[in-house]
């Protein structure tokens, strides 16, 4: 009986949403060839610079979309800020810096705020496909002020859940932190209860289809897959849901995808 239960457990956990290693961790060695990653990260930087972008929301594809739930394409989101940077050779110049919330390498239920380069950002990519949201000029200015202030780190909740409910403060993932910073910028507040009230009132998260048995077993597979902050439905912030929110409220100037050879309207 014990062996039978173990076999059933393994089979069921194998069918859980492929979020446990969804690409929200700080990248080490590139999954794809390093030269290709470097060329693609430069392509994205050059595209943003040519549009005069000071801050953008950029997403990477950290898993094969075929294994992700419907409605999910990108697995990690960050702000890219045009900044003074130090290159590997020690020289300085202007370029983009990625502002990330990453899972802690040693404890997947915790997270850290980490800045890295575009090449480091895409080192965790399964495919070279970037989602881009360019906020309108006024919102870019507001975002820059918040990101440069203590509010940016104040809004970080280190209790990590892959499927964090954006309407609560119990857990947080990279996309929820992005949304919290966005709301703080829009409403000029660092008050978390007020930010959550605004999210509940104006933002429609992405519903994740997950059956009762899968949901029950998920925390056993990884505590970072807990859904204890949800009710009957599991809903989380995603790149797509943020893009829809910003489009609906006229907050974005452009939303598109970049691949190594194409720029595609999202």
User: Is position 109 within any domain?
Assistant: yes
Three-state SS at 160: strand
pLDDT digits 0-9 by tens, 31-86: 899 999 999 999 999 999 999 999 999 999 988 878 787 878 899 999 999 998 87
Tell me what percent of the residues of the chain surpass a pLDDT of 70. Answer: 83
List Cβ neighbours of 257 (8 Å cut-off, separation of 6 or more). Answer: 129, 130, 131, 132, 263, 264, 265, 266
- pLDDT value at 110 more than 50: yes
User: Is position 161 within any domain?
Assistant: yes
Host H or E run for residue 137: helix 137-147
d(CA 24, CA 36): 20
Residue 169 has a pLDDT of: 95
User: Is position 238 within any domain?
Assistant: yes
- pLDDT value at 212 more than 90: no
C-alpha closest to that of 85 among 44, 58, 57, 117? 117
Pick 23 or 158 by higher pLDDT. Answer: 158
User: Is position 112 within any domain?
Assistant: yes
The answer to whether 242 touches 182, Cβ cutoff 8 Å, is yes
Pick 19 or 66 by higher pLDDT. Answer: 66
Domain count across the chain: 1
Spell out where the chain has E strands. 55-61, 76-86, 92-103, 111-116, 127-135, 206-207, 235-236, 252-258, 263-265
- pLDDT value at 145 more than 70: yes
User: Is position 15 within any domain?
Assistant: no
**Stated pTM of the model:** 0.87
- Of the CA atoms within 13 Å of residue 65, those in its CB half-sphere come to 11
d(CA 141, CA 73): 28
DSSP state of 223: G
Q: Could you give the C-alpha distances from 194 to 119, 131, 189, in angstroms and in order?
A: 36, 29, 8
Residue 231 has a pLDDT of: 76
C-alpha closest to that of 156 among 177, 170, 176? 177
User: Is position 184 within any domain?
Assistant: yes
Q: Which domain holds residue 103?
A: 26-265
Three-state SS at 93: strand
d(CA 211, CA 215): 6
User: Is position 239 within any domain?
Assistant: yes
Dihedral sign from CA coordinates of 197, 202, 203, 207: positive
User: Is position 8 within any domain?
Assistant: no
- Find the farthest-apart pair of alpha carbons in the chain and give their distance in angstroms, rounded: 64
């Amino acid at each position: 009986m014990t062996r039978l239960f173990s076999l059933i457990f393994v089979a069921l956990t194998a069918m859980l949403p492929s979020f446990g290693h969804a690409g929200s961790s700080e990248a080490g060695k590139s999954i794809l060839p390093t030269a290709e990653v470097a060329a693609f990260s430069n392509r994205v930087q050059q595209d943003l610079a040519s549009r005069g972008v000071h801050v953008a929301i950029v997403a990477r594809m950290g898993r094969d979309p075929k294994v992700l739930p419907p409605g999910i394409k990108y697995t990690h989101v960050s702000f890219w800020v045009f900044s003074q940077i130090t290159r590997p050779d020690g020289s300085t110049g202007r370029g983009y810096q990625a502002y990330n919330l990453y899972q802690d390498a040693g404890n997947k239920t915790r997270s850290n705020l980490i800045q890295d380069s575009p090449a480091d950002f895409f080192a965790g990519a399964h495919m070279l496909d970037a989602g881009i949201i360019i906020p309108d000029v006024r919102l870019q200015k507001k975002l820059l002020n918040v990101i440069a202030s203590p509010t940016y780190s104040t809004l970080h909740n280190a209790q990590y859940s892959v499927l964090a409910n954006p309407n609560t403060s119990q857990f947080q993932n990279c996309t929820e932190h992005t949304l919290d910073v966005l709301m703080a910028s829009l409403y000029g507040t660092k008050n978390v209860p007020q930010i959550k009230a605004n999210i509940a009132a104006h933002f429609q998260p992405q519903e994740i289809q997950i059956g009762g048995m899968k949901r029950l077993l998920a925390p056993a597979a990884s505590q970072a897959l807990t859904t204890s902050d949800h009710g009957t439905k599991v809903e989380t912030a995603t790149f797509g849901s943020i893009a829809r929110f910003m489009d609906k409220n006229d907050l974005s100037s452009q939303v598109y995808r970049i691949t190594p050879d194409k720029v595609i309207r999202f």
